């Protein structure tokens, strides 16, 4: 048993990632979605709000691949511009929950005691509520709109991250390096944030990916119900809602944004699954 470093012949992280088709597909979809979200103007053939009364409710054609809506606006351009709103939703709808959940979960998992018991009851209380109803209630109180929707989602969603993080920190504390940190005289903050948190965060990151897909779905649902993004802003839920009265005559109005939701959700799910595969087995 000699001690040769075997790092050189281990396949690199990137090479291992590229060997997983699901993960690659997920990265391509999400990568492209991010591009569309940042530079919608580059990809959209028309101004998403340009009204053309000569081309109302036209079926998909070469000049309008996704057809046009009841004001003659180009559906493809509106779906593309909606990426901006919906991808923003995926990030802003989860990031506050992620950060607060991770911090609270790590603290509660490290200190346990009374705080942990109170935390447990809060989690129980939030989780027993039907989620969509709770979010609708919060939005109804604060008023419709994207910002209020983010607040509503964050208020509920942090418990899921916190719960996951707490369990993972407790599991990590079973390893001696946590005790070794205490015995070395490191501060609690150092042990929690430098040693425990990076080791415990992997499952949280994986959950975050699938959560972004869920939040896009939720945001679209709220948009559809008129509680999220407000027309004339292009948002997939809003677009579907606009097309629902014409579903038998202008099916493309609801179908195309629906497909965008499915595709993006699939992308996040593939990414999450792939990352889980890649990160979980560790030695």
Partner 1 sequence: MDENTPILQVDGLNTTFYRNGSALAALRDISFSVARGEVLGLVGESGSGKSVTLRSIIGLARRYGDVTGAVRWQGRDLVGMADRALRQIQGREIAMIFQEPMTSLNPLLTVGLQLEETLRAHTDLSRTARRDRATEMLDLVGIPSASQRLKDYPHQFSGGMRQRVMIAIALAANPKLLLADEPTTALDVTIQAQILDLILQLAQDLDMGVLMVTHDLGVVAQTCDNVAVMYAGRIVEQGPVRDVLREPRHPYTVGLMRSVPENLPPRSPLYSIPGVPPGLDALPVGCAFAPRCASCIAPCSQDRPTLSLITEGRQVACFNPIATSQGNAA
Interface ranges with partner 1 (CB under 8 A): 1, 3, 5-7, 174-177, 179-180, 182-187, 195, 198-199, 282-283
Name which of 254, 264, 234 is nearest 44 in CA terms. 234
Q: How far is the CB of 108 from partner 1 (least distance, A)?
A: 15
CB of 162 to partner 1, least distance (A): 21
Whose Cβ is closer to partner 1: residue 181's or residue 267's? Answer: 181
H runs (alpha helix) in 112-251: 113-128, 131-142, 146-173, 176-183, 188-190, 197-200, 202-224, 236-243
Minimum distance, C-beta of residue 237 to partner 1, in the bound complex (Å):
40
Q: Which is nearer to partner 1, 191 or 270 (CB)?
A: 191
For partner 1, give the closer residue by CB, 88 or 202: 202
Q: Is 5 helix (H, G, I), strand (E, B) or coil?
A: coil
81, 69 contact by CB (below 8 A): no
- Pick between residue 47 and residue 116 the one whose CB is nearest to partner 1: 116
Least CB distance to partner 1 at residue 165 (A)? 16
Distance, in Å, from the CA atom of 265 to the CA atom of 32, rounded to the nearest integer, reads 13
Which among 46, 142, 40, 133 has a CA at the least distance from the CA of 88?
Answer: 40
From the CB of 189, what's the least distance to partner 1, in Å?
Answer: 12
Shortest separation between residue 1's beta carbon and partner 1, angstroms? 6
State which residue, 143 or 283, has the beta carbon closest to partner 1: 283
Compare residues 3 and 114 and give the one whose CB is closer to partner 1: 3
Cα distance between residue 253 and residue 56, in whole Å: 12
The CA distances from residue 13 to 7, 9, 20, 79, 278, in Å, are 11, 12, 12, 35, 8
Cis peptide before 167 (omega within 30 of 0): no
């Amino acid at each position: 048993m000699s001690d040769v470093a075997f790092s050189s012949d281990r396949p690199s992280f990137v090479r291992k990632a590229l060997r997983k088709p699901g993960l690659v597909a997920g990265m391509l979809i999400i990568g492209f979605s991010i591009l569309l979200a940042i530079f919608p103007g580059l990809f959209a053939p028309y101004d998403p709000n340009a009204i053309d009364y000569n081309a109302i409710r036209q079926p998909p054609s070469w000049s309008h691949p996704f057809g046009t809506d009841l004001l003659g606006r180009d559906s493809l351009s509106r779906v593309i511009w909606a990426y901006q709103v919906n991808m923003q939703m995926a990030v802003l709808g989860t990031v506050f929950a992620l950060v607060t959940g991770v911090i609270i979960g790590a603290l509660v998992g490290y200190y346990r005691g009374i705080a942990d018991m109170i935390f447990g009851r809060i989690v129980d209380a939030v989780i027993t509520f039907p989620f969509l109803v709770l979010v609708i209630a919060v939005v109804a109180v604060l008023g419709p709109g994207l910002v209020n929707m983010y607040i509503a989602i964050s208020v509920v969603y942090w418990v899921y991250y916190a719960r996951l993080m707490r369990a993972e920190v407790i599991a990590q504390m079973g390893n001696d390096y946590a005790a070794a940190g205490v015995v070395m005289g490191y501060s609690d903050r150092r042990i929690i944030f430098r040693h425990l948190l990076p080791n415990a965060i992997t499952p949280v990151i994986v959950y975050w990916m699938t959560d972004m897909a869920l939040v896009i779905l939720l945001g679209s649902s709220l948009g559809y119900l008129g509680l999220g993004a407000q027309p004339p802003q292009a948002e997939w839920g809003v677009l579907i809602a606009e097309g629902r009265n014409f579903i038998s005559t202008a099916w493309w109005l609801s179908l195309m944004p629906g497909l965008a939701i499915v595709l993006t959700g699939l992308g996040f799910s593939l990414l999450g699954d792939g990352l889980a595969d890649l990160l979980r087995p560790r030695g």
